[in-house]
Every structure is written in C-alpha cells, then in structure tokens.
C-alpha cells in the first residue's frame, strides 16, 4: 500500500464509535484527505448508490466502519444484520474491484466459538455461535473471494469516549446503582477504539503490501467482571460487584467463553507496540 499526498480515504459508518475515533485522529495524518460518510450520505446496502458514489469520487482507500453490531438484536433482526454486514460489504467489495480501490474492513472476535484456551490466530478455524458473528464471517469471506487488495482486521470488546460501549454503560450505572452483577466467565481483550483507528490508518501510511487478515486488540485478557472492576477503580466509584455466569445472565445471543486474539502478526507487519488494555482504559477514562 503506497502512500502519496493525493490519496483519499473514504470512511463509511462515520458516525459510529470507530468512525468517530478516526475523525478524532485524522489531523495526525495530514498526507491524506478524508471523506466521512454516514448512512444518510452513503447507504452501503444500495449497490447502485455505492457505485454511483465511487464513480463521482476519486477514492483510493475505503475503511469500512459501517456494521450492524447489536449482537442480541441481530438474533431477531437477521435480515437487517445481513443487509449491512453481508450485502453492504459485498457492495463495497464490488466497488473496490471496479475502481481499483483498497478495502480495509473491520471484523470481530465473534467469528470464533471460544473453545480454544490460547489466543486465536488469524488462520484458526472459525465457528460463530451467534448470527452477528455469522454475518461478519460471511462479509469476510466475500471480501477474500472478490479482492486481492484488502485488509480485514478482527477486533474485540471496543470501548472509547464516543458512542455506546461497556465502559460508558458501567460509568453511568455506577452513578445510578450501589451494586451490580457482571458476567465473570467470558474472557476477551478490551480494545480502545482510538488505538484501533491508528492501526487502520497505519496500514495505509505504511508502504506495506501485506494484504490479508489480521487481529488487533489491546494486550491482556480479562473478564467483563474484572473489566468492570477496573473501570470503577479508575472512577473512584464504590460499587458492590457480584459475579454472574453467562447462563445466569441469559442474553439472547450465545457469546464465546474465550475470544482472546493473538496480535503478533499485526505487531510485526506494522512494527508497532501494543499497549495493555488497562493503560488504554486509563487514558480513555481521563477524557470522559
């Protein structure tokens, strides 16, 4: 991926959590011009609109942050999740092929079933347990079949000062309640969406042509319970926390018990250091 002054990056799903994070750091990448599109200015589920949009613009890279991410709702709104996570991705892939554009796409740890006891590698077998994970995997496969110039980055447990996420929910609940029950038997790696945004842009800024599939999260594995405990500690909030199980919590969608991602490949490809989730969380909380 060569960098040049003329390169234009289209960011889809620009008003979501990750898209907003890219907006927040775009000034750090002055060699690029950014076009931020939300669903009202570019509906990725409308193929004709996508092709028309691309033919009227000179786009070199698309960073696709548009996604249906409501994991539980996806079980009952499969058509909606399919439209965005599969059909929309297919439309972007077709447009990238037609207009010689590189696609950078964000996927999820939920493509795995969580039966492994060591961090998941990019080449490990996928087996989603819920429809959200299945739709995201389907999107990945479409990109891999359609394009040679693409980067797919799977990530996990996104949080930031923008949008809706676990950290902001905990901070709010900490002000409203004296005690909370939090799931303590699901393991993953929290990821600061600002750190992910930098990684996405570093793929473009590097002269690497290492296309393909990557994993990125902040370092360290934890449970939702321990994640919550760290949030309240940093907030100096006195909350009585109780451990609960996935079974007791009974959410609509089944989630993997273990979905820690191995990030060695992205580290070596981009020559980056990845900080642990605790220091990333500390920075994010300081911005609230």
As beta bridge partners, residue 10 has 35, 62
pLDDT of residue 4: 44
Evaluate whether 34 touches 47 at the Cβ level (below 8 Å): no
Residue (of 65, 67, 70) closest to 21 by Cα position: 65
Evaluate whether 9 touches 63 at the Cβ level (below 8 Å): yes
Per-residue pLDDT of the chain (288 residues; tens, 9 = 90+): 544 446 999 999 999 999 999 999 999 999 999 999 999 999 999 999 999 999 999 999 999 999 999 999 999 999 999 999 999 999 999 999 999 999 999 999 999 999 998 999 999 999 999 999 999 999 999 999 999 999 999 999 999 999 999 999 999 999 999 999 999 999 999 999 999 999 999 999 987 789 999 999 999 999 999 999 999 999 998 899 999 999 888 789 999 999 999 999 999 999 999 999 999 999 999 998
pLDDT of residue 209: 85
pLDDT of residue 249: 83
Catalytic residue among 29, 131, 132, 225: 132
Say whether 187 is catalytic. no
17 Cβ contact partners less than 8 Å away, ≥ 6 residues apart? 158, 160, 162, 163, 164, 165, 193
Residue (of 191, 282, 181) closest to 236 by Cα position: 282
Two tokens at 31?
């060699």
Enter the pTM of the model.
0.96
d(CA 76, CA 73): 6
């Amino acid at each position: 991926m060569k960098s040049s002054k003329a390169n234009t990056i289209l960011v889809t799903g620009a008003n979501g959590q990750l898209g907003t994070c890219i907006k927040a750091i775009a000034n750090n990448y002055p060699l690029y011009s950014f076009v931020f599109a939300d669903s009202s200015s570019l509906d990725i589920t409308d193929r004709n609109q996508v092709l028309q949009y691309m033919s009227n613009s000179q786009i070199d890279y698309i960073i696709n942050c548009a996604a249906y991410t409501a994991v539980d709702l996806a079980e009952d709104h499969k058509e909606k999740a399919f439209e965005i996570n599969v059909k929309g991705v297919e439309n972007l892939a077709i447009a990238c092929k037609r207009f010689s554009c590189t696609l950078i796409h964000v996927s999820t740890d939920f493509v795995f079933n969580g039966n492994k006891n060591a961090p998941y590698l990019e080449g490990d077998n996928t087996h989603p347990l819920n429809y959200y994970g299945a739709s995201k995997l389907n999107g990945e496969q479409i990109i891999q079949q359609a394009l040679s110039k693409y980067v797919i980055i799977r990530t996990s447990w996104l949080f930031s000062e923008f949008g809706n996420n676990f950290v902001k929910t905990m901070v709010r609940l900490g002000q409203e309640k004296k005690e909370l029950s939090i799931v303590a038997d699901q393991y993953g790696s929290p990821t600061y969406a600002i750190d992910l945004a930098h990684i996405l842009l570093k793929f473009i800024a590097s002269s690497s042509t290492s296309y393909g599939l990557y994993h990125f999260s902040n370092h360290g594995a934890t449970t939702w319970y321990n994640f919550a405990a760290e949030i309240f500690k940093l907030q100096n909030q006195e909350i009585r926390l109780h451990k609960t199980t996935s079974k007791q919590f009974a959410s609509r969608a089944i989630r993997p018990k273990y979905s820690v991602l191995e990030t060695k490949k992205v580290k070596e490809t981009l020559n980056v250091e990845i900080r642990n989730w605790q220091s990333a969380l500390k920075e994010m909380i300081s911005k609230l």
